[in-house]
Structure 1
Amino acid sequence: MSDRIDRMGRLLVVVVGVLVAALVGWLLFVEYVTNIADLLGILLVILVAGVGLRLASGFAGSKFPQYNVAEVGVEGPITRDGGGSKPIPTGPVGATADEIVDQVEQADDDPAVDALLVHLNTPGGEVVPSDDIRNAVEAFDGPTVAYATDVCASGGYWIASGCDELWARDLSVVGSIGVIGSRPNLADLAERLGVSYEQFTAGEYKDAGTPLKQIEPEEREYLQSIIDDLYGKFVGRVSEGRELTEGEIRETEARVYLGDDAAEMGLVDSLGTKEAVKDRLEEELGEEVTVREFEPQRGPLARVGMGARTVAYAFGAGLASRIDADGLGFEFRT
C-alpha cells in the first residue's frame, strides 16, 4: 500500500512540476513577448518545461525514493587513489578506496536505504585501504551482503569478511587469504652497468628493501616479520567476521578456490546469481527489494584523469608496472 502511495506521489509531483514550468514558459515567451515569433516561443516553452521536468523528477526522487537497498562496487585493484599517485597505473582503474568508503557512508546516511549490497570483483590490493572499506561496511546500520562475481581474492575477501553474508557464483574465484611484500632486485643489473649504491640513512633499517643493493639476512628477517604481522591481522579479521577458527583459515595456505569449493569450506555462505541475493534481502527485510547503485561523485577534471589512466593501462602500462614505479621501497599488498 505504501509503495503505491509513493508511486502516486512521485507522479503527482512530476505532473505538477511540468504544468507549472509550461505555464511559466507560455507566459514569458508567448503571451507577453509579442515581438518573438510564435515558433521560437513554443520552442522556449518546451525547453523550460524540460527543465521543469528534470527538477521535478529530482525532487520527487528525493521525497519518494524508489529504492531500499544500496549497491556499492569494489572492482579492480584496491588502492587509496586509483593509482593516481604513481606515474604508471598499477591496473584497471576503478573507484578508489576513499570513494568507496564515501559511498558506503552516503548509503548509511540515506533514510531510504535499509540494506547494503557490496559487489566484489577484485584481486585485492593495498592493505590499509582494504581495511578502511571493511570498517565502513562493518559500521553500516543494517543487513550487509557481499556478492562476488569473477574474483573475490585477498583484499576483496578482507572486505567481504566484514559483511553479514558472502555470496558467490559456483565459478567465482575466492580466497587468497594472505599478504605479499615485493621488491625488484636490481643489484646485479646495477653492477653490470657500473652503477653503485651509496647509503646515507639514519636508522639501521631505513633503506631495507631498496632494490639497488642485495638484501641482507637481517633485513629479510625484519621485512618478513612485517609480512607475518599483517598476515596475522588478516587471519584475525577473517576469523572474527566469518566465524572460522584461525587454524582453519591458515590451512587454506592463501590458495584460491572456486565458489562451490569455497562454500563447502565455509569461506562462502551461499551460491547464486544476483537475483538470488535480492531474494535473500527481500527475505531479510520482509518487503520487495529495489536496488540503487551508488557511484563516485567526480568532477570533470577527476573523470578525465581517471579515464587517462585507464587508457594508459590498456596500452600496456600494466606490464611495465610490474617494476616498482617509485624505483625504491618495499610494497605490501593483500
Structure 2
Amino acid sequence: MDNQPENSRASGVSNNANAPYGAYQPQPGNQAYWQQPSYAPPYAAPVQPQKKSRGWIVALVAVVLLFAFLFAALASCTSVMAGASSSMFGAGSQSAVDSLSEDAVGVITIDGTIDYDGSTASPEGLKAQLDRAENNPHIKAVVLRVNSGGGTATAGEEMASYVNDFSKPVVVSSASVNASAAYEISSQADYIFTAKTTAIGAIGTAMQVTDLSGLLDKLGISVENITSAESKDSSYGTRPLTEEERAYYQAMVDTVNETFMETVASGRSLPIERVRELATGLTYTGIDAIQNGLADEIGTREDAIAKAAELAGMRTYAVVSLEPESDDLSDLVGLLSSSKMSNEDLIERLKELNGNGSQH
C-alpha cells in the first residue's frame, strides 16, 4: 500500500500520517522559555564620519590564513589529543576505545526518535556500537543512556532484540523521557535506573489516518483515486475509512501492540497479564515505575555506570563513550583547503581591491 503509515510504539499521542507513530510528545506549555534581556541606550549618539583605509582587509585575510594553519596543525595531532581528552573528559573516540588497556564501561546514548537514521537511536547505529563493545575484551559492560519518547515500531523491535542478544551486562540510565519504543529497548536490559520525575513506560501502539475530504470539499477540490483494490487509497486522506477498513487497521495495531507487551513481559520477567494492565499508552513517573515493576531503582547516570561495573565484577574501571565516528574536524580542514585560489593570489586580489577602491 503506497504511503501506508507504519505502526509504532505509542505514548497516547498521535502524529501525522508521514511521521513516526507513537513518539511520546510532551504537551505544549510544559516548558518555560526565558530570553535574556538586552540593554540599549535611550538614544543613539551621532557618529562622525571618518576616512578609513581598506588596508584592514589584508590584515583580516592574514588572520584567517593563520587560523587555517592552526586548524591544519590541530588536525595533524588529533590522534594524539584524542587519548588525552578521553581520559580528562570521559569521551571515548575511536582510537581511545581501541587502545584501552584497562577494563571499562561503555556508554551508548540513545537520544531522539527511534527510527532508521544511522544514529545510535536506530537499529544499525545501536548494533554497530554494541558489536564494538562485544568485540573489545576490555569493555566488560554497557550503559544505555536513554532520552527518547519512542518512534517506529519495527526499529524498536530490532533494537530490543540486539540488546537482548548482547552477552555482557547492560544497564539503562533513563533521562527525562524513556517511553514507548525506547522503553521496549530498555526493557531488555539487566537493570533500569530512572529519575523520580522521568516519564517512563507508555506501552501502547498508535496509527493515524487523516481524513481531509471535508476540507477538500470546502475548497472545491475533487480528488479521484484510481486503484487496483477498493482499500488501496484508504490511507491517502481523501476519503473517510469504511467500517471494514477501520476494523482492519485496529486489528493491525492490536497485533503490533501484543508483540510490544510480550517483549516487555519477557525482558522484565513480568506476567503478560500484568504488562497488559500497565499498557495504558500513558507514561508513569519514575517513582511509579519502581512500584509497578517497569524500572528497578532511582538513580543517576553515575549510579548506572557503577551498577554496570558491579554486574561485570569490576572494582576499578574506565568509562568510555561509544559513538559513531565523526570526521567533522577533517571536513573543516578540507573545506578551508579546497579553494582553487592560492593564499598568495587571494592576498594580491585584495591588495588590488584596496588600491582601486575609494576611501571613505
Question: Which of 259, 263, 266 is the aligned partner of 2:290?
Answer: 263
Partner-residue secondary structure (3-state), 2:203: coil
**Alpha-carbon contact 1:123-1:153 (below 8 Å) kept:** yes
SS at match of 2:172: strand
Give the drift of 1:103: 1.6
Deviations 1:268-304 (A, max 9, x none): 011111222222223222222322111122555xx99
Measured after TM superposition, the shift of residue 65 of structure 1 is 3.4
CA distance, structure 2, for counterparts of residue 281 and residue 200 of structure 1: 57
**Which secondary structure does the structure 1 equivalent of 2:235 belong to?**
coil
Whether 1:77 and 2:113 are equivalent positions in the alignment is yes
Quote the residue 1:147 is aligned against.
Answer: 173
- Quick check: 1:67–1:289 contact (8 Å CA) kept in 2? yes
Whole-Å Cα distance in 2 between the matches of residues 177 and 56 of structure 1?
41
Judge conservation of contact 1:73–1:100 (CA < 8 Å) in 2: no
What's the offset of the Cα at 1:152? Answer: 0.5
In structure 2, distance between residues paired with 1:56 and 1:276: 26
**Bigger RCO of structures 1 and 2 (CA < 8 A, at least 6 apart):** 2
Query: Who is 1:21 aligned against?
Result: none
Q: 2:98 aligns with which of 56, 62, 73?
A: 62
> How many Å separate the matches in 2 of 1:146 and 1:217?
42
TM-score normalised over the length of structure 2: 0.62
Matched, 1:293 2:321: yes
- Structure with greater helix share of residues: 1
Q: CA deviation at 1:206?
A: 2.1
Write the distance in 2 (CA, Å) between the matches of 1:131 and 1:168. 22
Percent of aligned pairs with the same residue?
Answer: 27
Instruction: State the match for 1:274 in structure 2.
Output: 301
Shift, 1:266, TM fit: 0.5
User: Does the Cα contact within 8 Å between 1:105 and 1:136 map onto a contact in 2?
Assistant: no
Query: 1:181: how far off?
Result: 0.4
State the AA in 2 paired with 1:129: A
Partner in structure 2 of residue 332 of structure 1: none
1:180 aligns with 2:206: yes
Looking at structure 2, the residues matched to 207 and 52 of structure 1 have their Cα atoms a distance apart, in angstroms, of 54
Distance 1:167 1:278 in 2: 10
CA distance in 1, matches of 2:321, 2:205: 31
Distance (Å, rounded) in 2 between the aligned partners of 1:64 and 1:126? 35
Mapping for residues 192-211 of structure 1, pairs under 5 Å: 192-211=218-237
Q: Aligned pair 1:162/2:188, yes or no?
A: yes
Query: Are the equivalent residues in 1 in contact too, given 2:140–2:309 (CA < 8 A)?
Result: no
Q: Which runs of 5+ in 2 are unaligned?
A: 1-72, 84-93, 333-360
Answer yes or no: is the 8 Å Cα contact 1:100–1:296 preserved in 2.
no
Q: Deviations over 1:220-259 (max 9, x none)?
A: 1111111000011101101111111121112121221110
Amino acid at match of 1:209: S
- Does the Cα contact within 8 Å between 2:178 and 2:201 map onto a contact in 1? yes
- How many residues of Structure 1 are paired with residues of Structure 2 in the alignment? 246
Superposition RMSD on alpha carbons, in Å? 2.9
On the 8 A contact 1:281/1:289 being kept in 2, the answer is no
**Paired residue for 1:224?**
250
Whole-Å Cα distance in 2 between the matches of residues 207 and 76 of structure 1?
31
1:108 aligns with 134
1:117 aligns with 2:143: yes
Separation (CA, whole Å) in 1 of partners of 2:293 and 2:77: 53
Question: For 2:167, what is the secondary structure of its paired residue?
Answer: coil
**Residue 199 (structure 1) shift:** 2.4
Q: Deviations for 1:46-70, whole angstroms, at most 9, x for unmatched residues?
A: x79x749729958786344355111
Written as runs of structure 1 = structure 2, the 5 A alignment for 1:307-326 is none
What are the equivalent positions in structure 2 for 1:82-97 lying under 5 Å apart? 95-97=121-123
CA contact (8 A) 1:209 1:219 kept: no
For residue 96 of structure 1, report the CA deviation from its aligned partner: 3.8
